Amino acid sequence: MLAMDYRGPYRVRAEQKPMPEIEHPEDAIVRVTRSCICGSDLHLYHGMVPDTRVGMTFGHEFTGIVEEVGSEVHNLKVGDHVLVPFNIACGKCHFCQQGLFGNCHESNNEATAVGGIYGYSHTAGGYDGGQAEYVRVPYADVGPLKIPSWMDVDDAVMLTDVVPTGYQAAEMGGIRRGDTVVVFGAGPVGIMAARCAWLFGAGRVIVIDHLDYRLEFASRFGPAEVYNFRSIEDPVYFLKKATDSLGADVCIDAVGGDAAGSALHTLLGTKLKLEAGAATALHWAINSVKKGGIVSVVGVYGPTGNLVPIGNVVNKGITIRANQASVKRLLPRLIEHVEAGRINPKALITHKVPLEEVSDAYHIFSAKLDGCIKPVLVP
């Protein structure tokens, strides 16, 4: 089968690989119909995530048709068209029982950090992902959900990560009616977080980025007030002034990245400036939130080397909440929002390309070319 293949930082290609097989009675094999590239994949692509092995297939946001099920799979049958949450979760452990599917204790041998994630290095279990024609889906009774008959598959694939992550970013912010919410990052996740902030009762939503085309999109989709941080001398001072000098009630970090990532950019001499701003977003969030406010972090960071200005956190009495999204927990609510038209996920898809063109798709998304917001691979 054809699958994306990681060859090293900034090098991916489409390659023929062996078909995945049922390895456990609770597995299913799914024939992929849509597979997105995520900002999280860019951290792998940029070489930020430890133990990302050459030969791995990325891809944790996918839909597909069930081809085969193991003997212990009861909720799925061959032919079902499913959306598959990015978390690999056993459904039974201490954390899954609390709805913390992103922190499953069984699906990742590392068992210390996140649970398993499709195609997200050996620090997230070493599973191959769905940027492929076929993928093995472990614990197939737990994650996958049959796509409702009325739902467009392009909306469904966005429910595997972007929508729940944006929604959880707003939820973790503990937004109260009338709150001012500042979202750092106008990528798919930040744009979705801005949209969802309204669903929690925000009174004002501000989005910060340095890419005008994305800010323009966020201003319509949120809707949101948008500012380009490159045209502001001091974003923290600016945001304080814009919020009665007290600061925002809630700040959301939808950027992530880390110093290792930016060092690599410098080393490779790429023209991409993203990571230069990345480590800063969390600092801006902490420094521009109100005293006693909440900083919600969904941006993904490398496991070490991230300097949090903890003094400011303590002195301002800030609450920081952070996690991988627990997709399955949120799906029932999100499907209602999509059906009611309160969220229009597929509007974020700007590029739909055949799997053969995976290398170009990564480049375009990473370098933010051609108005790219969300690229989707179609095997």
Using CB under 6 A as the binding rule, whether residue 377 contacts ligand NAD is answered as no
Q: Which of residues 169-198 bind ligand NAD (CB under 6 A)?
A: 184-190
- Minimum CB distance to ligand NAD, residue 25 (Å): 29
* Residues 220 and 238 sit within 8 Å (Cβ to Cβ): no
277 binds ligand NAD (CB under 6 A): yes
**In a 3-state reduction of DSSP, which class is residue 312?**
helix
Examine residue 217 and tell whether it contacts ligand NAD (CB under 6 A).
no
Can you name the residues that pair with 351 across neighbouring β-strands? 375
Question: Beta strand pairing status for 2-8 and 11-16?
Answer: antiparallel
Q: If binding means CB under 6 A, how many residues of this protein chain bind ligand NAD?
A: 33
Of residues 59 and 277, the one with the C-beta less far from Zn ion: 59
Residues 6 or more apart in contact with residue 349 via CB below 8 angstroms:
154, 158, 373, 374, 375, 376
| Least gap, CB of 74 to ligand NAD (angstroms) | 28
Q: Which of 108, 84, 85 is nearest to 95 (CA)?
A: 108
**Subset of 56-95 contacting ligand NAD (CB under 6 A):** none
Cα(17)–Cα(258) distance, integer angstroms: 32
CB-wise, 61 or 249, nearer to Zn ion? 61
**What is the C-alpha separation between 98 and 113, in angstroms, rounded?**
17
**Binding residues among 19-38 for ligand NAD as defined by CB under 6 A:** 38
**Which residues inside 316-375 make contact with ligand NAD, applying CB under 6 A?**
324-325
Given ligand NAD, Zn ion, none, residue 181, with its beta carbon under 5 to 8 Å by kind, binds: none
Binding ligand NAD (rule: CB under 6 A), the pick from 76, 211, 251, 334 is 211
**At which residue do the structure tokens 């490398």 appear?**
302
Binding residues vs Zn ion (CB under 5 A): 38, 40, 61, 161
Q: What are 296's strand-pairing partners?
A: 252, 321
Question: CB-wise, 86 or 229, nearer to Zn ion?
Answer: 86
For residue 356, give both structure tokens.
């053969």
- The C-alpha atoms of residue 4 and residue 133 are separated, in whole angstroms, by 9
* Contact with ligand NAD (CB under 6 A) among 33, 35, 40, 262: 40
Measuring CA to CA, how many Å separate 208 from each of 31, 351, 377? 38, 23, 28
- For ligand NAD, the binding residues (CB under 6 A) are 38-40, 42-43, 161, 165, 184-190, 208-211, 214, 229, 254-256, 274, 277-278, 280-281, 298-300, 324-325
